[in-house]
Homo-oligomer: A and B are copies of this chain.
Amino acid sequence: MEKKLQELKRRLAEVADLQNAAAMLSWDQQTYMPPGGAEARGNQLGTLSSIAHRKFVSDEMGQLLEDLESYTDELDPDSDEARLIQVVRRNFDKKTKVPSEFVAEFSRVRSRAHGAWEEARENDDFAHFQPHLEKIVEMCREYADFFAPYDHVYDPLLDRYEPGMKTESVQDIFSELRPLQVELIEAIGDRDQVDDSFLHQQFEEKKQWDFGEKVITKFGYDWTRGRQDKATHPFTIHFGVGDVRITTRIDPEFLNSGLFSTLHEGGHAIYEQGVSSDLERTTLAEGASLAIHESQSRMYENLLGRSYPFWSYFYPQLQEVFPSQLGNVDLDTFYKGINKVEPSLIRVEADEATYNLHIMLRLELEIALMERELEVADLPEAWNARMEDYLGLTPPNDTKGVLQDVHWSSGLFGYFSTYSLGNLVSVQLWDAIHDEIPNLTDQIREGDFSSLLAWLRENIHRHGKKFKPQELVKRAAGSEIDPAPYIRYLQGKYGEIYQL
């Protein structure tokens, strides 16, 4: 049995190497690749993912997993080995249920849809994208049907990103969250707006870059195992725990853009750098789920990076870097400015208080599409109606509305809610950390982020993908995903800033 386990690990290592190589190619595609490289890169990525897939769903792998089934009973159920076999088994069953012809066809459909989406955005022409999106929605339903019977047609889609999470749970969580968030935003709307004009000045790119790197260095990002580069759409990517890279995008006329992007991606990367090296080259050597990942990025970006204690330490340093821009702006004004709440049209530019509403809108539309309650043709209207309901805004065109995100054109149905779930988890963990480290706020005020990192390493990072997200949250925070702490956090924070 020990031998079979070794053979399983050998095969998984080969698959992991192929996936990490593909990740490297993708990193280059988004950072340095010249345009002439696109076609060959597509071929290379296609070949690598197809070989990795075939190796993972091979008969030999199936046989090994079957043979190892009984062996798990002999193992400590929380051991790396028992969990590995369990997770691989689960992934194997999922992947073998989807015929490879479907995978290939879906890949072609998405590739065409992505091009059509780009054209539709350029010409503000939803009708051009519509037939492609219809095809994608239809294929997502087909995908779900490979997993029938299910409680809800949306469950198999959600499960791709959030193992074990059910549509009903997400709906319950969001039903509790929505009225409270809408109420909060309305209350803020009745108050005087804070000033953030000082954030919209000229900030030299190189200085922004260096300051962001200085902050995440303090957080514990390890530069011997990573680096930062520029990308149009910032992302974090890893090729093993020894090489976890981030990217950012600097706006020379708006301080928030590059800075909080670096903090956000830094949070993702610190997570990946903290995965136990024992899990290297196995299926478990990455974050537990998208929501758990987002809990880490949002914690470093928002709970820490937009907090008063954090800036008590860092603001004088930032003022030194930008004396003419910020020399006359005091800490209180700065703190309020970076936390300004204002309903806006674009998700990726939304503040903490309105962000989740952007997500709920998308989740509800996705579910309605899957349930056949909504036709793709009616999507722009449904989008705009909800924007009006939740945020009091109507997009002037579809490019700033239903066409704004890349996700649907890439077939990523089931993905959006993980952003909001991540927000919720971040606060649950944050509360748990403060319970266990009572003087954490003082430490942060002194620029000491080491016990925070130690807690996250111990309770979240090192486990990698060993535990399902709900189980991991319960182990670390004492309860499953719960919106109440997040609402309390928003109310406390914005109650103070806007004197509600």
Q: Which residues of A contact B (CB under 8 A)?
A: 13-14, 17-18, 20-22, 24-25, 28, 32-41, 43-44, 46-48, 51, 222-227, 229, 239-243, 245, 280-281
Contact = CB atoms under 8 A, between A and B. Distances in A.
A21 B48 CA distance: 8
B36 A243 contact: yes
A56 B13 CA distance: 21
B242 A32 contact: no
Given A13-B47, A21-B21, 17 more contacts: A13-B43, A14-B51, A18-B51, A21-B48, A34-B226, A34-B243, A34-B245, A36-B222, A36-B224, A36-B226, A36-B243, A38-B242, A39-B240, A39-B242, A40-B239, A43-B240, A44-B239
A44 B36 CA distance: 25
How many protomers of this protein does the assembly include?
2
Given A37-B240, A51-B51, A227-B32, A43 B25 contact: no
B281 A37 contact: no
B18 A47 contact: yes
13 contacts: A13-B47, A17-B44, A21-B48, A32-B227, A36-B225, A36-B242, A36-B243, A37-B240, A37-B243, A40-B241, A40-B243, A44-B239, A51-B51
Given A32-B229, A51-B51, A225-B34, A280 B24 contact: no
A37 B229 contact: no
A40 B242 contact: yes
Q: Which A-B residue pairs are the 3 nearest by beta carbons?
A: A40-B240, A37-B243, A36-B225
Nearest to A24: B25
A336 B43 CA distance: 49
B34 A25 contact: no
Nearest to A20: B44
A17 B47 contact: yes
A25 B39 CA distance: 18
Contact of A239 (B13, B41, B242): B41
A37 B33 CA distance: 20
A354 B274 CA distance: 52
A222 B39 CA distance: 16
A225 B21 contact: no
Nearest to A28: B24
Given A40-B20, A240-B39, A14 B47 contact: yes
A498 to B, nearest CB: 43
Contacts of A222: 36
B223 A37 contact: no
Given A25-B24, A40-B240, A44-B24, A227 B13 contact: no
B34 A227 contact: yes
Contacts of A242: 34, 36-40
Contacts of A229: 32
A222 B37 CA distance: 12
A51 B224 CA distance: 29
A13 B239 CA distance: 25
Contact of A40 (B41, B44, B46, B280): B280
B25 A21 contact: yes
Given A24-B25, A44-B17, A33 B281 contact: no
Contacts of A28: 24, 28
A498 B376 CA distance: 73
Contacts of A41: 239-240, 243
